[in-house]
Amino acid sequence: MEYRKLGNTGLEVSRLSFGASSLGGVFRPVVEEIAIQAVHTALDGGINFIDVSPYYGLTKAETLLGKALKGIRRERYILATKVGRITATDFDFSANRVIASVDESLKRLGVDYVDLIQCHDIEFGSLDQIVNETLPALQRLCQTGQARFIGITGLPICVFHKVLDQTQVDTILSYCHYTLQDTTLAGHLPYLETKGVGIINASPLGMGLLTDRPPPNWHPAAPAIRAACARAAVQCRKKGQSLSQLAIQFSATHPGIATTLVGTADPKEIEQDLCWMDQPLDLELLAEVQALLAPVRDQTWLSGRIENN
């Protein structure tokens, strides 16, 4: 496994990392024993960065991850969780709530501290509140030792600029913006690098767009995007390959991105993902797929408040 520096934190994270949203049953039902095995398989395979949130499965993911991490030496993993997002429509970035949220997460996870605490999907909140209330509250938690570093997450990339132009954070987590279909994040890396932040790339499969299965019904992508991704999947099958493999390999190759999150509660899928990291990217197939996706290149969807898009 290759390890990369996470901005100026001093942390070295695995190029491929574990997204624990799947432990919350976000995509399909979870069998606890198998999900715990998936976490252990990831760690044994060299993955050392784990990202979770109390929002995933409405605390189920954190609770299950805590069971999986029980008895594992703390130095074996770098742990990130989040604050602010409560349900699909409820958000609370107030100082009191985020401080209480961290306490609750630590108990569920069974740890004394998290390495990274992140404001979850900040486009749904007031960015003024994030800058002037939420982040200072999280900084106080770093002073007390409950967290080591602070990050922000969101879909619209512009929110990172709006926050970083006013204050400093250690990391940003961007999702669906460095994939086979959307590479928008790459154009913002020079700016982010000047701010010294570590880059975490999530959803290399576009929340299910870039797989051999149709995306979930709730997926916000336009029909044209769905159709183009379906054609890309067909082309990969014709060549005897998987669109998922091509997508994960592609997203994990950019040297400016510290780590790419993959989420699964299936140990066999984690083993497959790890195997793909050791295989060369099929450049001929990549060119064919990129040509199919060209009509919808970098197309995205709205998320959060209008003023934050």
Measured distance CA(157)–CA(217) in Å, rounded: 25
Please check whether residue 183 is in contact with residue 149, taking contact to mean a CB–CB distance below 8 angstroms: no
The residue assigned the tokens 């990202």 is: 51
**Six-digit token pair at 281?**
């990217």
Instruction: Give CA torsion, residues 290, 291, 295, 299, to 10 deg.
Output: 10
Phi, psi of 252 (to 5 degrees): -90, 5
Measured distance CA(194)–CA(177) in Å, rounded: 19
User: Annotated active-site positions, please?
Assistant: 56
The residue assigned the tokens 């189920």 is: 60
